[in-house]
């Protein structure tokens, strides 16, 4: 009886293509580069010259994977003893973790479909990274000040939506008017489509919904909610980053504020005000409740040390 195979794979290029299938274009680009960087390390070629079939993944060993991890670790910036000293590396711990996760993922996939006999990366543990949420914290007053000082109607609505829905920047950039509908009790509802190709429905305050209706005028259902003033096309994530940065400067915030800071602020402020973690999880679209829990730990209100003398 002939052996049944899950997929016909002729080489590493085809394996990577199968692995990337179904992922978002942004994820495909990022993962493909991670794998090419691994192949670049193995072959000694520049990433731009690497062809995926230059490496036969069936010949990769645990030694190769561990050596690649050591190489990435060697590119981590070392602590600066003084302000004039430049870091010796250029990879953050999160970047190293993502690159190693990509390598482990493609090797695991190759094993799952029967192309690779062993997943040699199993013993390799992903590096733990520091929780930096507390370093990206905005108070309620800082957020309200940013919004209050934003005079442009479109930009102010972008800020409010980022904060009150906890949306990711790409989810706001891609909004169409068909995604914004009235909800019961005079509230509004926004349909967000984002990370992992997942859809979630977020209820918004009546005041914000009415402001959006006022801003909409006679624009059609398929029109972008926030078009670029120059092109009329949906405003880009880069433009939203600049809008947030400009509003933060107006509020006299010296921090390098980004749209994701408003998502962090949503989670932290909601938990501070007693919102159930499960509701915050659903609003933000976290798969795991432990992810939501990180926001509570980032700004704890209590510590056992408060009960100690000294």
> Positive or negative, the Cα torsion across 242, 245, 250, 251?
positive
Q: Quick one: what percent of the chain has pLDDT higher than 90? A: 48
Q: In the 8-state DSSP scheme, what is residue 199?
A: E
Instruction: Give 308's pLDDT tier (boundaries 50, 70, 90).
Output: very low
When comparing pLDDT for 124 and 268, which is higher? 124
Beta strands in the chain, from DSSP E residues, in sequence order: 180-182, 188-194, 198-204
Section 32-58 average pLDDT: 94
Residue 264 has pLDDT above 70, yes or no: yes
Of the listed 99, 168, 266, 269, which one is catalytic?
168
CA distance 153 to 5: 58
Q: Which residues pair with 176 in a beta bridge?
A: 224
Of the listed 156, 160, 263, 266, which one is catalytic?
263
CA distance 223 to 151: 23
Section 196-221 average pLDDT: 85
Return the minimum-mean-pLDDT range out of 129-138, 168-177, 269-278. Answer: 129-138
Section 201-216 average pLDDT: 90
CA distance 42 to 60: 9
Q: Directed axis angle between helix 12-20 and helix 25-43, to 10°? A: 150
Section 160-184 average pLDDT: 91
Which tokens go with 230?
């120059």
Of the listed 156, 266, 269, 286, which one is catalytic?
286
Instruction: Give 302's pLDDT tier (boundaries 50, 70, 90).
Output: very low
Active site residue 195: yes
Query: Residue 109, Cα to own-chain centre: how many angstroms?
Result: 23
Neighbouring C-beta atoms of residue 183, cutoff 10 Å: 15
Per-residue model confidence (pLDDT) at position 2:
46
Per-residue model confidence (pLDDT) at position 76:
77
CA distance 245 to 199: 27
Per-residue model confidence (pLDDT) at position 62:
96
Active site residue 286: yes
CA distance 57 to 115: 9
Of the listed 136, 154, 176, 195, which one is catalytic?
195
Full-model pTM? 0.62
Per-residue model confidence (pLDDT) at position 136:
63
Q: Quick one: what percent of the chain has pLDDT higher than 70? A: 82
Of the listed 154, 200, 250, 260, which one is catalytic?
260
Residue 295 has pLDDT above 70, yes or no: no
CB-based burial label for 258 (10 Å; 0-12, 13-18, 19+): middle
Per-residue model confidence (pLDDT) at position 287:
67
The domains of the chain, with CATH numbers, are: 12-112 (no CATH), 134-298 (1.10.443.10)
Section 143-163 average pLDDT: 94
CA torsion, ordered 214, 220, 223, 224, to nearest 10 deg: 10
Return the minimum-mean-pLDDT range out of 20-34, 234-248, 290-304. Answer: 290-304
């Amino acid at each position: 009886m002939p052996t049944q195979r899950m997929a016909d794979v002729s080489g590493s290029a085809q394996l990577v293509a199968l692995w990337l299938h179904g992922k978002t274009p942004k994820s495909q680009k990022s993962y493909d580069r991670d794998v090419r960087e691994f192949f670049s390390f193995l072959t000694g070629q520049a990433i731009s010259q690497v062809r995926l079939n230059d490496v036969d993944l069936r010949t990769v060993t645990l030694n190769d994977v561990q050596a690649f991890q050591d190489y990435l670790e060697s590119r981590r910036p070392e602590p600066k003893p003084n302000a004039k000293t430049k870091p010796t590396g250029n990879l953050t711990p999160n970047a190293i973790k993502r690159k190693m996760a990509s390598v482990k993922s493609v090797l695991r996939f190759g094993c799952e479909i029967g192309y690779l006999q062993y997943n040699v990366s199993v013993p390799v543990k992903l590096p733990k990274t520091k929780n930096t949420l507390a370093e990206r914290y905005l108070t309620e007053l800082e957020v309200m000040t940013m919004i209050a000082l934003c005079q442009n109607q479109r930009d102010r609505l972008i800020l409010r939506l980022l904060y009150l829905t906890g949306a990711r920047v790409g989810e706001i950039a891609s909004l169409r008017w068909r995604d914004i509908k009235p909800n019961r009790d005079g509230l509004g509802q926004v349909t967000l489509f984002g990370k992992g190709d997942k859809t979630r429905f977020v209820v918004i305050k009546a005041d914000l919904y009415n402001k959006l209706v006022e801003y909409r005028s006679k624009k059609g259902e398929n029109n972008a909610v926030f078009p670029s003033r120059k092109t009329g096309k949906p405003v880009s994530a880069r433009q939203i980053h600049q809008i947030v940065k400009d509003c933060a400067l107006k509020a006299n915030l010296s921090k390098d504020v980004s749209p994701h800071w408003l998502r962090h602020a949503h989670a932290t402020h909601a938990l501070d005000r007693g919102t159930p973690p499960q509701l915050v999880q659903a609003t933000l679209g976290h798969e795991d409740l432990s992810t939501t829990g990180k926001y509570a730990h980032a700004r704890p209100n209590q510590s056992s040390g408060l009960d100690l003398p000294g």
